[in-house]
Structure 1
Amino acid sequence: MQPTELRELLTVDGLRLLDSLPAFDQKADVVQQVARLRKEGHSPSLVAAVLTQARLRAKGRSKFGDFADRMLFTEAGLEQATRLPVASTHAGRFRRAGLRRIADLGCGIGGDALALAALDLGVVAVDRDEVTAAIATYNLAPWPAAEVRLGAAEEADLDGVDGVFLDPARRTEGHSSTRRLQDPADWSPALDTAFAFAERLPTGVKLGPGVDRELLPSDAECQWISVDRSVVEVGVWFGALARPGIRRAALVLGAHGPAELTAAGDSDDVEVGDLDEYVYEPDGGVIRARLIGDLARLIGARTISRDIAYLSGPTAVATPFAQCFRVVETFPLDEKRLRQELKKRGIGRVEIKKRGVDIDPAAFRKRLQLSGANEATLILTRVAGHHTALLCERVQPA
């Protein structure tokens, strides 16, 4: 979005037109919509802007729920924004730590600042991009205690601030097509600069979940968060924002509500054991936090092979930290044999999971030539060091 387009959108007529549009329908005829709006006398740039915002608002509901219906977005800003349930966990940390005025440096479209303001915390939201800062200003307008400033995180005035939150930009600048920056020194602010704020104030830094663990400070609490079994971030917390005695945490958010495993450090592994009746796939947050050993002890399970993140046990235990499967049959990982066995059982749909084997699940599924009305889960992995296929069914323990 260009500044001129945003200025036209941020008028009484522009916002009224946006709010008057029907719910976005991906199948609707866009040409007809454009023609209708142009016939009503609206400029081409405003028509493009409101239709883009209608589409982004519909897309934004997955992150912001009903709040999305009154927010503005850029394509890149929405993609990089924190989901509201996750932003709420960030905000809760600041409130529990007794911090009252927070600087959100690199605020983007204002997702985390919105969650902070909703808890009646004062917010100074800073972003270096003019369009993004303007959109954050609009999104935070309902909260008088939230202030948006245009500027670089490194140069932000922290006078009167008692806590800092940063989400370093890890992609190239822009509002739509951007590319990922691999070197932490190229992030905005650079990772070392972000961590350095902790020398002055209690600080939280949001990073991608796959960040090199060697970059994570040993004196901080690192919490990996997954939402509906997708790992979305690792939060690095310093000072009063870090919980005493906790250096590793896996927070799992889903229909079951929040559930968390915590530890003073990476957990010790459990021994490799025989494949039992049930197999567990740990949540990605548990795997990233390296708390698989603690989970195994919690559910009475063992690993099935060294360095493989599947667990196995004799009973089906209900846990939010793993998915459970009953092992129906085991086979050598032989494509021809599997094709025959699945055909014999009338299995026409398979969910394929894999760890420790070099297989493309989509291509492998196609080569299986599936047919039949039944369905199953196929886990391709190593058991006691041997490549093995586990024919399984999903289990929902009571």
Structure 2
Amino acid sequence: MDRSELLELLSPEGLRLLDALPEWDASADIVRIVSDLRKAGHPPDLVATVLSQAKLRKKAAAKFGDFARGMLFTEAGLEQATRLRVAALHAGRFARAGLGHVADLGCGIGGDAMALAALDLEVTAVDVDEVTATIASYNLAPFERATVLVARAEDVDLTSVDAAYLDPARRTTGHENTARITRPEDYTPSLDFALGLAERMPVGVKLGPGFDRDLIPADAEAQWVSVDGQLVETGLWFGPLARQEVHRSALLLDRGGSAELTGVGDSDDVEVGERGDYLYEPNGAVIRARLIGDLARRLNARMLSAGIAYLTSDEARETPFATCFRVLDTLPSDERKLRAALHVRGIGALEIKKRGVDVDPAALRTRLKLKGTASATIVMTREAGRHVTLLVERV
């Protein structure tokens, strides 16, 4: 979306048309919808823009729920936006710390700023991109204590604010078809700026889930967040925003609630032991937080192989922090023999999980030429250093 498209969308005609559209339905006859809107006298560029917004609103419901129906988006902004449930937890840290005025530096479409403002905190939301900042201003319009600035984060006067929150842009410039940036020095603003700010004031920084752990400062609380089994972010918290005696955290959110595993630091792995009847696959947040050892001790489990995040035990214990599998059989790791073993069992649908082995599950599934009506799950990994293929079922 460019500046002229945004101005047209924000016109009274554009907003009325957008709000009048039915919820986006990918199976609908889009050609007919476009034709009907054109016949009604709406300009073609506006029709394209509002239909794009309707599609983005539908997609955004996964992050923003019903609020998405009244928001505006860019494709890139929605991609990086924090889920509203997670943003509420971020905002809660600032509120509990008594930090009344927060600068959201790199606010994007305004998701985190909305959560902060909803707790009646004063928010100065900043984005360097004019289109993105304008969309954030629209999304924050219901909140009287929210202000939006078009500026570089590095140029904002922070003398009147109590704390800062940063979600550095980790994609190339633009509003759609952007590419992911991997070097922290290329983030906008840069990681060095964010960490330098944390030396002066309370700061929270949202980063990608695969962020290099070696770059985490020693005084930060690092929290990895998983939503419905998907690892979504790494959060770094400094000063009063960080909890005492918590330096590593794995936070799991799903429809059933939340669960958190914390530690004062990385936990030591337990010893490798003989494979039991059950296999545990820790949640990605637990793995990234390096709290596998603490989880293993909770489960009375042992490592299946050194350095590989699978645990094994003789009994099944319920835990939100790992998926438990019952081991049914050991299958051949040789591809030809594995194909024959699956054929004998009539397995036509196969889930392939792997760690510590060089396998492309999609390509292997094709080569196995599966036939049959049964479905199954296999785990391809190492057991005490040796390749092993296990037939398992979820407990």
Residue correspondence of structure 1 range 116-131 to structure 2 within 5 A? 116-131=116-131
Match of 1:157 in 2: 157
Matched, 1:339 2:343: no
Match of 2:211 in 1: 211
* Alignment partners' CA distance in 1, 2:393 and 2:87: 35
* Alignment partners' CA distance in 2, 1:342 and 1:119: 55
Match of 1:302 in 2: 302
* Alignment partners' CA distance in 2, 1:36 and 1:312: 60
* Alignment partners' CA distance in 2, 1:256 and 1:319: 13
Residue correspondence of structure 1 range 110-189 to structure 2 within 5 A? 110-189=110-189
Contact 1:332 1:387 in 2 (8 A): no
Match of 1:62 in 2: 62
Residue correspondence of structure 1 range 3-82 to structure 2 within 5 A? 3-82=3-82
Contact 1:165 1:205 in 2 (8 A): yes
Q: Which letter does structure 1 place at the counterpart of 2:163? A: G
Match of 2:316 in 1: 316
* Alignment partners' CA distance in 2, 1:255 and 1:20: 31
* Alignment partners' CA distance in 2, 1:97 and 1:258: 21
4+ residue runs of structure 1 moved beyond 6 angstroms? Answer: none
Q: Which letter does structure 1 place at the counterpart of 2:99? A: L
Displacement of 1:230 in angstroms is 1.1
Displacement of 1:170 in angstroms is 1.4
* Alignment partners' CA distance in 1, 2:345 and 2:238: 55
Q: Which letter does structure 1 place at the counterpart of 2:324? A: C
Q: Secondary structure at the match of 1:378?
A: strand
CA shift digits 1:36-64 (9 cap, x unpaired): 11111111221111111000000100111
Contact 1:221 1:246 in 2 (8 A): yes
TM-score normalised over the length of structure 2: 0.98
Displacement of 1:171 in angstroms is 1.4
CA shift digits 1:306-333 (9 cap, x unpaired): 1110000111111110001000001341
* Alignment partners' CA distance in 1, 2:363 and 2:172: 33
Deviates more, 1:20-29 or 1:288-297: 20-29
Match of 2:244 in 1: 244
Match of 1:190 in 2: 190
Match of 2:254 in 1: 254
Q: Which letter does structure 2 place at the counterpart of 1:240? A: P
Q: Which letter does structure 2 place at the counterpart of 1:134? A: T
Displacement of 1:31 in angstroms is 2.0
Displacement of 1:185 in angstroms is 1.4
Displacement of 1:160 in angstroms is 2.4
* Alignment partners' CA distance in 1, 2:186 and 2:368: 45
| Consecutive unaligned residues in structure 1, runs of 5 or more | none
Match of 1:234 in 2: 234
* Alignment partners' CA distance in 1, 2:48 and 2:342: 51
Match of 1:223 in 2: 223
* Alignment partners' CA distance in 1, 2:105 and 2:132: 13
CA shift digits 1:164-196 (9 cap, x unpaired): 100111111100011122221111111010111
TM-score normalised over the length of structure 1: 0.97
Q: Which letter does structure 1 place at the counterpart of 2:60? A: G
Q: Which letter does structure 1 place at the counterpart of 2:119? A: L
Q: Which letter does structure 2 place at the counterpart of 1:222? A: A
* Alignment partners' CA distance in 2, 1:190 and 1:340: 53
* Alignment partners' CA distance in 2, 1:106 and 1:313: 46
Q: Which letter does structure 1 place at the counterpart of 2:378? A: L
Displacement of 1:255 in angstroms is 2.4
Match of 1:352 in 2: 352
* Sequence identity (%): 63
CA shift digits 1:260-310 (9 cap, x unpaired): 111110001100011100000000000001000000001111110111100
Q: Secondary structure at the match of 1:112?
A: helix
Deviates more, 1:29-38 or 1:347-356: 29-38
Deviates more, 1:318-327 or 1:175-184: 175-184
Contact 2:38 2:44 in 1 (8 A): yes
The total of aligned residue pairs comes to 395
| Consecutive unaligned residues in structure 2, runs of 5 or more | none
Give the alignment's Cα RMSD to 1 decimal.
1.0
* Alignment partners' CA distance in 1, 2:46 and 2:351: 45
* Alignment partners' CA distance in 1, 2:6 and 2:127: 16
Match of 1:290 in 2: 290
Contact 1:357 1:381 in 2 (8 A): yes
* Alignment partners' CA distance in 1, 2:200 and 2:162: 9
Displacement of 1:200 in angstroms is 2.0
* Alignment partners' CA distance in 2, 1:340 and 1:189: 54
* Alignment partners' CA distance in 2, 1:275 and 1:368: 26
* Alignment partners' CA distance in 2, 1:255 and 1:33: 35
Contact 2:331 2:341 in 1 (8 A): no
Contact 1:256 1:320 in 2 (8 A): no
* Alignment partners' CA distance in 2, 1:271 and 1:199: 39
CA shift digits 1:231-265 (9 cap, x unpaired): 11100000000000111111011123111111110
